[in-house]
Structure 1
């Protein structure tokens, strides 16, 4: 399981931070992170950094499991994974479910961290730092929009314009019930821009294969923007469907059969297909292997997982 709970007994009063560093060998940064995230408790109550503790305490540690997922590309400072559909990038809370973090840390160690994230429903490329020395530099590339990300999607309906840019502010909802997980188009939201280009139209099945380039990084940006122009992504269980269908998928562990029955596809037809950036005076251009599965669905052909292409 990703998180395991361990119990320790502290004989003499000691500050929580000091106990983690001196007695358990945590680095100061790791000890601070564990306390900040509420993973040290006593009698079910969260322990604070400067708090003196004595007696029995509980600590929840992330213990990665090997998912059998190998990185698509490896550099001495970073790696790139081709994340499958229905896999979280980070663990959510202290639940015992797998995430990309399991594959990453079981292969490269505790210092390795994802630099950005994809929705669990979205497949494709995730850049990860292999150690803390490169982590901030890589994060700065994303922060300052020096990374070009290209997605491939299948949307419902026929997109008329060969190319267009969607400019609509996106608001991340807070509270308001179970469906507040949806982002919405709102003048109170943050500015958001997405460029789309039609790759091919399927008139018989009333769907379009497109390329999308997000120029900003808002929550569910591509999904929200495409829904806002009446072309929601095929297989989307949040956008372009009824509240009842969204609640069904949020409240159950729906599998491929339910996705096909209710949404017409085995999963969300969105793939983070290509990522381009400069690092250490070199340009890296990496393509997703899993994009082939999306194309196979659109063209109704088979998908061979063994093919791959990485350009750099």
Structure 2
């Protein structure tokens, strides 16, 4: 498990954050964040003030990444791209998460490597990652300026006959229900969002269409919600287009693969980040996934 409890001994009394900076090599900002998140314990009690002076034995909850052998898709001097499989988290959900993509990245490229953007756990495909603090800043700035072009492949329900430009504002629902709170919806009070959808191939025997999606904004669940909004929900989506009962079963991990196929058409979300195109450091990059998404789609529709 990446998060482990390390015991350490401090000979001379000093401020907690200074010990983490000097002895463990983190920045002051990182040290203060660790302390605020309860990752330093003294006599078994969580310490939450970075200015507190400590000495003697302390415990530090540290992140030690592990590898499961996921190979980098492409590597350059300042960044790498992984082709993430469906089901793999980008970051740990909590300290009990056994493995996520950040494990693989930091295991292979060190503490300063970081993931520059996110895709959903169930979405597969390309994830751009920086190899150091400088490239992290540059890449995140590129995303903020919307200089990144992304294309996704999705298998959707129904026939999509023509290109669609979906411009529908997205709002994260606020509700007492934990189920509803995690769901994004189209709402006039939401943030501006735009997705272009292009049909690639219709499969009449399954009444499904393979489409290419180009999001111009990067809202949470944007492609999923936009396609659901135009009545072409993504095959295998366990949230959008499902009853609350089935959503609860999915979230509680009580939905069997066969039930999921029966409810949504596939055992996984059939959405794949297929292309990244951007300019960085005076160079043009156009990176394509090598995954056979078409095969994945039809393999996921049966047990």
TM over 0.5: yes
Change (3 A) 1:264 1:16: same
Shift of 1:257: 4.8
Does residue 216 (structure 1) correspond to residue 191 (structure 2)? The answer is: no
Report the Cα distance in structure 2 between the residues aligned to 1:166 and 1:50, rounded to whole angstroms.
50
Shift of 1:41: 3.5
Deviates more, 1:102-111 or 1:144-153: 102-111
Partner of 1:307: none
Report the Cα distance in structure 2 between the residues aligned to 1:131 and 1:212, rounded to whole angstroms.
30
Shift of 1:245: 0.9
The 3-state SS of whatever aligns with 1:20 is helix
Does residue 170 (structure 1) correspond to residue 170 (structure 2)? The answer is: yes
Change (3 A) 1:228 1:72: same
Change (3 A) 1:46 1:163: farther
Partner deviation per Cα, 1:174-217 (whole Å, 9 max, x = no partner): 45222111111111211111111111111221111111111111
Does residue 159 (structure 1) correspond to residue 155 (structure 2)? The answer is: no
Partner deviation per Cα, 1:42-94 (whole Å, 9 max, x = no partner): 44434222223455533211111111101100001000000000001111221
Report the Cα distance in structure 1 between the residues aligned to 2:228 and 2:119, rounded to whole angstroms.
18
Change (3 A) 1:174 1:64: farther
Unaligned runs of 5+ in 1: 303-312
Partner of 1:186: 187
Report the Cα distance in structure 1 between the residues aligned to 2:176 and 2:276, rounded to whole angstroms.
35
Does residue 64 (structure 1) correspond to residue 65 (structure 2)? The answer is: yes
Deviates more, 1:40-49 or 1:194-203: 40-49
Change (3 A) 1:8 1:274: same
Partner of 2:294: 295
What is the aligned-residue RMSD (CA, Å)?
2.1
Does residue 31 (structure 1) correspond to residue 25 (structure 2)? The answer is: no
Change (3 A) 1:260 1:9: same
Superposed, 1:225-244 pairs within 5 Å as: 225-244=226-245
Deviates more, 1:40-49 or 1:278-287: 40-49
Does residue 207 (structure 1) correspond to residue 212 (structure 2)? The answer is: no
Partner deviation per Cα, 1:223-269 (whole Å, 9 max, x = no partner): 01111111110000111111111111111275645533543212100
Asked whether the 8 Å contact 1:171–1:189 carries over to 2, the reply is yes
TM-score, with length taken from structure 2: 0.91
Unaligned runs of 5+ in 2: none
Superposed, 1:1-312 pairs within 5 Å as: 1-10=1-10, 13-42=13-42, 43-54=44-55, 56-160=57-161, 162-174=162-174, 176-179=176-179, 180-252=181-253, 256-290=257-291, 292=292, 294-298=293-297, 300=298
Deviates more, 1:183-192 or 1:22-31: 22-31
Report the Cα distance in structure 2 between the residues aligned to 1:103 and 1:111, rounded to whole angstroms.
13
Deviates more, 1:24-33 or 1:253-262: 253-262
Deviates more, 1:92-101 or 1:124-133: 92-101
Report the Cα distance in structure 1 between the residues aligned to 2:75 and 2:251, rounded to whole angstroms.
35
The 3-state SS of whatever aligns with 2:50 is coil
Number of residue-to-residue matches in the alignment? 298
Shift of 1:146: 0.1
Change (3 A) 1:18 1:253: farther
Asked whether the 8 Å contact 1:16–1:47 carries over to 2, the reply is no
Report the Cα distance in structure 1 between the residues aligned to 2:174 and 2:7, rounded to whole angstroms.
35
TM-score, with length taken from structure 1: 0.88
Change (3 A) 1:239 1:284: same
